[in-house]
């Protein structure tokens, strides 16, 4: 199988768990009229854009093992889908 990488940077609704210190762990999200359940968490990092601190995540979902890059803006309490690596069937 190959994968297709796409940039999105669009707002999404995310179900997440937060620690007392404000660290987020995304559990599932809604995108393109589908609920994507996260079953694997990869790299996690923090970025600063202007005066906003972003918690960033690479996650995999139960549907087809696709990989998604999500970000959470601590200042705005808002989630975004930044990039996708969708698995494509082999020809």
* Digitized pLDDT (tens) for each residue of the chain, 91 residues in all: 566 889 999 999 999 999 999 899 999 999 999 999 999 999 999 999 888 899 999 999 987 788 999 999 999 999 999 999 987 666 5
Interatomic CA distance for residues 75 and 50, integer angstroms: 11
b/e code 28-56 from CB counts within 10 Å (16+ = b):
bbebeeeebebeeeeeeeeeeeeeeebbe
Domain spans of the chain, in order of start: 2-88
């Amino acid at each position: 199988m190959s994968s297709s990488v796409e940039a999105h940077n669009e707002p999404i609704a995310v179900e997440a768990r937060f620690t007392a210190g404000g660290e987020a762990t995304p559990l599932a999200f809604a995108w393109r009229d589908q609920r994507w359940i996260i079953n694997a968490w990869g790299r996690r990092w923090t970025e600063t854009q202007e005066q906003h601190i972003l918690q960033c995540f690479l996650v995999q979902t139960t549907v087809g093992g696709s990989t998604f890059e999500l970000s959470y803006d601590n200042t705005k309490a808002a989630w975004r889908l930044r990039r996708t690596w969708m698995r494509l069937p082999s020809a």
